[in-house]
Structure 1
Amino acid sequence: MVDLLLCEPTWSDHGDCNATENRINILRKLESIIWSLITCEGRSEARLWLCKTISCFSSITPQAQCEVFEKLLRSRPRKTGLAAQLLQMIFEKRPHKLCHIIAKNYYILETFFKGNPRRILQWFGTFAGVGESEHRKGARALSQFSFVNRDICWDELVWKGKHGYSPAVVATKPHYFLDLDVQRTMENFIENVPEFWSSDELMESVKDGEIFLMDSKFFIDCFIELMYDKDSKEIWEVIDNFLLLESFSSLCNHLLLILEESDLSTFLKLLGKFQTLRMETESIGHPSYWLEFLLCIHNDIASIDELLLLNAVINQGRQLLRLLRDEEHEEERRKIGELVLEINNTSGAYDAALVKECLKTKKVDSVKWLGFLSWVLQFRLLEECKTPDSWEALFIMNKINFRKSSSYDLIQTGQVLEESESSFDDGGYTKARRKNEKTRKRRRRHYGLDDDDRDDLVDVDISSSWQNVQPREGSWLLSTDNYSSSWTSVDLPEYMAKYCFSTWMKWLRSK
């Protein structure tokens, strides 16, 4: 039976060195196999896992996240890919924040439409027809500007008919703008009416940011030029404001994946300068706690390779086990099975010795070996605990209080629920039995049937509706999480491994 090592070791140091070295040698072999498994088809999925873990950080303040991302954006060489992705986020979430920059740099719009009939028609050709209330987008800006400034631009309007219309006629019949040759008119405005491109009317039409959706790449390139070539204060203010308001999780999920690994390493080092470690018990069980812990104590903690490996073992244990089930990884599974068997055949004191040694050695190595030990634990539980009895034996051996319940689904006849409580709670079990007995008595009174009749009724229902009814697989409520969740054998290997790892991290944190 597996010893989960939930009690902090307190014995003397005598004889621990050999036991620890033996375990570490096995774990080093395991490390090599798992690394080959992770990288067999590239590193992209492992990077995705690591970025997901980073996005879980909860101790980063808005001001800190703003400073970290801005420092990365301003670092050399230029981070144009990162800047483009960030601007795309702003286009999607707060495009109106960029419109005053367009107003100040109106040449951007003039350049956007110059020599591009498709864009001109898409933006300025949305005039209202008969019965419609008003023009839309750039068409509204064009009509309003033309009326207000008719003395300087009305002659630049080009009509499709044999003759044009006067302002007075068009004012009474706005749908006449449908006869406007929009392309030639806007070409005239580009050449002869520069006032239009900086006008309030045009800026009003673009203030919601919808225009950015017409060609995001064009505007992103323009804003990147303002960021890096002109160091525009206005664009950096928009970026800073967005970085302050957006959640850290959202920023990480959208931005980190496009970084080069060297930039991701730089990002983590910058993050470490603002990292504060939480002491709460629930924080230690958080997916990102181990990484936050390392950032706090040692900024140049490890290479990206080591972080990818550690994160996969600590947070993606189930995914690694799924990979091992593939036929192409049968050899890796065999080798890992042999290593785990070697661990099984040696004294459990070896694991305890390793845990104890990790509490007083270099913290980076400590987290590494504790992480691998927890994954081995997950592998062993998956292989060794296949029945409800084996799980309950594990709980009892490791002094974990538990409550078990099994249920039968009887559709149309209600639900018969049988509950039991075990492991240090015999009184609760008796209460549950009494409660069920009272429930059965109430049902008999309700139906006006004696015991035999009631039993016959249940037999009929079962035989007619669910002849092959089977109890659900056992599930347990555990004292490890204060009985807050129901755990089945499907989830227990991963849960127990993570619970053990968080327990060991508490000891490590206190040293």
Structure 2
Amino acid sequence: MIDLLLTKPNWNDVVDDQDSIRSRMSLLTDLETVIWSAVDRAEARLWLCNTVAGFNCVTLLHQRDLFRALLRTPRTKRDLASQLLHFMFDTSPHKLGSVLARRSHVLEKFFQGNPKRVLLWFSCSSSGGGLEQGKGFKALSQFAFKNRDICWEELEWKGKHGQSPAVVATKPHYFLDLDIQKTVENFLEHVPEFWSSDEFAESVKDGDIFFIDRSFFVQYFIDLMYKEEYKDIWDVVNEFLGQQPFSSLCGRLLIVLEDQDLCYLVESLCESLGPRMELQQFNDISNLFAILVSKCGAYGSIDQLLLLNAVTAQRRQLLRLLRDEEAWEPQEKINEIVSKMSAIPSNPNILTTILKNKYKMKTIEVIKYVGLLSWLLYYRLSRECQNPESWESLFVNNQIGFRNSNKHTLPERDGPSEEDCSGFDSSSSVRVKSRRKKKARKKKRTYYRDEDGDDDELLDYDSASQKLVSLSNTRSWLLSTDGYSSGLSSIYQSTFIDSACLGG
């Protein structure tokens, strides 16, 4: 029998069965060891980062302040700043380009002694009857013609003789005859005015120049941020941090954080989001994780956060990992733990007893054990509830009232259907509506995903070619948990499993 532990806690009627508690806690500790033997720590970190990225109540101001604080942390700032700059190069190069344009003279050193960079930025090409000028070439030719009195002699031509300004004014394509390499070398040596000119600054303003040598510009902007404390670069960074989607920032930045800083970020977010999320429905599993962590207070180590996240917010990923053929040994050990746990006499107040003994452990330890117990329950449900009969037995054993329904799908989100509320009225109008709905549903794809985007792992719908169970072999029920208005179909069994294991 699977005990869903749905009994309402009675703090004054808890039997302090120390032997039973010690046995259960020992098995849960064994489960923790098995999980860590199967899960790579780097993968567990990635799961935690994915959960954090799913927080949907983070304000733009909060995310800006949070990441800005991390950028100021000595042990983190260089790696995090580098990752952030690469992100900005990819998505908003013009923001940093505007900073560089105001200091374009520094690029004089960028091109000195580097013919490859010179040719990449200042080269040009001609196609058809028109002239396609690169940004650097355009800046060079515009500056040269505008300031011909100070730099025309520095232009190097490929032909036997040079071109006069008067000729180039009528035939600008003659600029194609310039020897770019030698001309830029002359400008580097004799025309310093070009490198701080409006023409050159305009050419780098959109940030395309960053792609010539990313590493150079990453280091340049890091120096601006931390050595020179240049205000303009921090203004741009703060603006960027306050505009990007939180999930995008997490996806690009969290992977480079040290454990201590990742732990700080999770703590800070959960402390601020927990109370706000408690007022919302659990429509996102990341919200529940934030609430749990916000209740934990002080943390022992990030490993506890990683484990708590794995058995709650990433429970499906963990189940999928353990179902892999290569994980047969951990799976056998978990099955053994399940057998031993089932052999312990049932205690309807097991959760209450664990919570009442929390003074012996830190809060996060208590929540961790409850999380392990809920995942073990999740694991058992995924294995043992595979047909309608097993589900009805589960309801009976856990005192969940239910009524059979002729429907094979869940009611609409806004409440029970007309059929459900009418005492299963089988009038012709209702039957017509039911047939229309069923006909429409047949056209829909039979591949379902849960609320957090994962495949319905519990039903093994991993292949598009795998069909749903025949409707003749399915059954639907209305449950008593909220006055028989919530529906459950064996097609949607994972919805109930998620709720049962996570307090829904």
TM-score class normalised by the smaller sequence: 0.7 to 0.9
Counterpart for residue 26 of structure 1: 27
Q: State the secondary structure of the residue aligned to 1:256.
A: helix
Distance 1:469 1:68, change over 3 A: closer
Report which stretch shifted further, 101-110 or 165-174.
101-110
Give, in whole Å, the separation in 1 of the partners of 2:141 and 2:487.
64
One-letter code of the match for 2:377?
Answer: L
Are residue 379 (structure 1) and residue 379 (structure 2) matched?
Answer: yes
Segments of structure 2 that go 5 or more residues without pairing to the other structure are 410-416, 437-466
Report which stretch shifted further, 70-79 or 193-202.
70-79
One-letter code of the match for 1:382?
Answer: S
Distance 1:52 1:177, change over 3 A: same
Counterpart for residue 79 of structure 1: 77
Counterpart for residue 113 of structure 2: 115
Q: Residue deviations 1:252-310, cap 9 Å, x none?
A: 11111122223322333444564452255644453223442355345532311111111
CA contact (8 A) 1:84 1:224 kept: yes
Q: CA deviation at 1:29?
A: 1.8
CA contact (8 A) 2:104 2:200 kept: no
Are residue 213 (structure 1) and residue 215 (structure 2) matched?
Answer: no
Are residue 338 (structure 1) and residue 336 (structure 2) matched?
Answer: yes
Q: CA deviation at 1:124?
A: 1.3
Q: State the secondary structure of the residue aligned to 2:503.
A: helix
One-letter code of the match for 2:102?
Answer: K
CA contact (8 A) 1:285 1:502 kept: no
Q: CA deviation at 1:96?
A: 1.1
Counterpart for residue 59 of structure 1: 57
CA contact (8 A) 1:227 1:235 kept: yes
Alignment match of 2:350 (pick from 327, 348, 353): 353
Q: CA deviation at 1:51?
A: 0.5
Distance 1:133 1:290, change over 3 A: same
One-letter code of the match for 1:23?
Answer: R
Give, in whole Å, the separation in 2 of the partners of 1:6 and 1:186.
78
Q: CA deviation at 1:367?
A: 2.1
CA contact (8 A) 2:277 2:287 kept: no
Q: State the secondary structure of the residue aligned to 2:312.
A: helix
CA contact (8 A) 1:134 1:140 kept: no
Report which stretch shifted further, 208-217 or 124-133.
124-133
Counterpart for residue 449 of structure 1: none
Distance 1:127 1:189, change over 3 A: farther
CA contact (8 A) 1:62 1:244 kept: yes
Give, in whole Å, the separation in 2 of the partners of 1:261 and 1:94.
29
Aligned residues: 457
One-letter code of the match for 1:31?
Answer: E
Distance 1:474 1:173, change over 3 A: farther
Aligned residue runs from structure 1 range 129-168, under 5 A: 131-132=129-130, 135-168=133-166
One-letter code of the match for 2:365?
Answer: D
CA contact (8 A) 2:404 2:475 kept: no
Q: CA deviation at 1:62?
A: 2.0
Counterpart for residue 190 of structure 2: 192
Give, in whole Å, the separation in 1 of the partners of 2:487 and 2:234.
46
Q: State the secondary structure of the residue aligned to 1:428.
A: coil
Distance 1:274 1:195, change over 3 A: farther
Q: Residue deviations 1:119-156, cap 9 Å, x none?
A: 22222112555622663311111111111101011111
Counterpart for residue 178 of structure 1: 176
Give, in whole Å, the separation in 2 of the partners of 1:286 and 1:71.
27
Q: State the secondary structure of the residue aligned to 1:15.
A: coil
Identity %: 44
Counterpart for residue 222 of structure 2: 224
Distance 1:471 1:289, change over 3 A: closer
Give, in whole Å, the separation in 2 of the partners of 1:105 and 1:434.
74
Counterpart for residue 35 of structure 1: 36
CA contact (8 A) 2:374 2:502 kept: no
**TM-score after normalising by structure 1:** 0.79
Counterpart for residue 398 of structure 1: 400
Give, in whole Å, the separation in 2 of the partners of 1:402 and 1:254.
49
Q: Residue deviations 1:61-95, cap 9 Å, x none?
A: 22222222122111123522211110011111111
Counterpart for residue 446 of structure 1: none
One-letter code of the match for 2:187?
Answer: F
Give, in whole Å, the separation in 2 of the partners of 1:171 and 1:282.
69
Q: State the secondary structure of the residue aligned to 2:84.
A: helix
Q: Residue deviations 1:8-29, cap 9 Å, x none?
A: 2236334144344443222122
Segments of structure 1 that go 5 or more residues without pairing to the other structure are 408-420, 441-467, 505-511
Give, in whole Å, the separation in 1 of the partners of 2:231 and 2:276.
36
Q: State the secondary structure of the residue aligned to 2:113.
A: coil
Give, in whole Å, the separation in 2 of the partners of 1:139 and 1:478.
73
Distance 1:501 1:284, change over 3 A: farther
Distance 1:7 1:354, change over 3 A: closer
Counterpart for residue 250 of structure 2: 252
Q: State the secondary structure of the residue aligned to 2:242.
A: helix
CA contact (8 A) 1:401 1:424 kept: no
Q: Residue deviations 1:195-236, cap 9 Å, x none?
A: 111111111112111111222111111111111221211111
Counterpart for residue 291 of structure 2: 293
Counterpart for residue 367 of structure 2: 367
Q: CA deviation at 1:251?
A: 0.9
One-letter code of the match for 1:289?
Answer: N
Q: State the secondary structure of the residue aligned to 1:69.
A: helix
Q: State the secondary structure of the residue aligned to 1:278.
A: helix
One-letter code of the match for 1:376?
Answer: L
Report which stretch shifted further, 121-130 or 140-149.
121-130
CA contact (8 A) 2:254 2:262 kept: yes
Give, in whole Å, the separation in 2 of the partners of 1:392 and 1:276.
36
Counterpart for residue 464 of structure 2: none
Q: State the secondary structure of the residue aligned to 1:246.
A: coil
Q: State the secondary structure of the residue aligned to 1:315.
A: coil
Give, in whole Å, the separation in 1 of the partners of 2:86 and 2:489.
42
Q: State the secondary structure of the residue aligned to 1:427.
A: coil
Distance 1:269 1:476, change over 3 A: same
Q: State the secondary structure of the residue aligned to 2:4.
A: coil
Give, in whole Å, the separation in 1 of the partners of 2:223 and 2:487.
53
CA contact (8 A) 1:59 1:277 kept: no
Give, in whole Å, the separation in 2 of the partners of 1:199 and 1:185.
17
CA contact (8 A) 1:277 1:292 kept: no
Report which stretch shifted further, 228-237 or 141-150.
228-237
Counterpart for residue 492 of structure 1: 493
Larger Rg: 1
**TM-score after normalising by structure 2:** 0.80
CA contact (8 A) 2:101 2:202 kept: no
CA contact (8 A) 1:49 1:312 kept: yes
CA contact (8 A) 1:256 1:264 kept: yes
